[in-house]
Amino acid sequence: MIDKSEMLINILERYDVRYNPNRSGEQSVSCPNKEAHDDRNPSCSVNIGKGVLFCQGCGLSGDAYSVVMVIEGVPFVKAIEQLGQPYTISESDFLTI
Ligand SMILES: [Zn+2]
């Protein structure tokens, strides 16, 4: 069982995104995809409880894996590696966003 909230928090910290850790519902943050656009007015909405985010600016969306895949331009397997997750993850874990 993978904790998607935990993983998304890792991502937010990795890309220096300011967020409110005490808020499990939706909140607006600046987009972690800094290469895509300069997001001074936070246009990315993140839901830490669900472990997902969606950016209205660049269309970045999904869970921690999707974010790493898009920002780092790596395939799923590499994203798992970067997130320090074991390979025992099943495809269905990924699809239950
Ligand atoms: Zn964005």
Taking a C-beta distance cutoff of 8 angstroms, is the pair 57, 50 a contact?
A: no
Q: How far is the CA of 2 from the centre of ligand 1 (A)?
A: 25
C-beta atoms surrounding 59 within 10 Å? 10
Q: How far is the CA of 88 from the centre of ligand 1 (A)?
A: 30
Domain of residue 87, CATH code: 3.90.580.10
- Give the domain range for residue 10: 4-93
Residue closest to 67 by CA, chosen among 3, 8, 5: 8
Taking a C-beta distance cutoff of 8 angstroms, is the pair 32, 44 a contact?
A: yes
The domain total for the chain is 1
Tell me the whole-structure pTM to 2 decimals.
Answer: 0.80
The type of residue at 88 is: T
User: Is the model more confident about 87 or about 63?
Assistant: 63
Q: How far is the CA of 19 from the centre of ligand 1 (A)?
A: 15
What is the per-residue pLDDT across 25-52, written as a single tens digit (0 to 9) for each?
Answer: 999 999 999 989 988 889 999 999 999 9
What is the per-residue pLDDT across 55-77, written as a single tens digit (0 to 9) for each?
Answer: 999 999 999 999 999 999 999 98
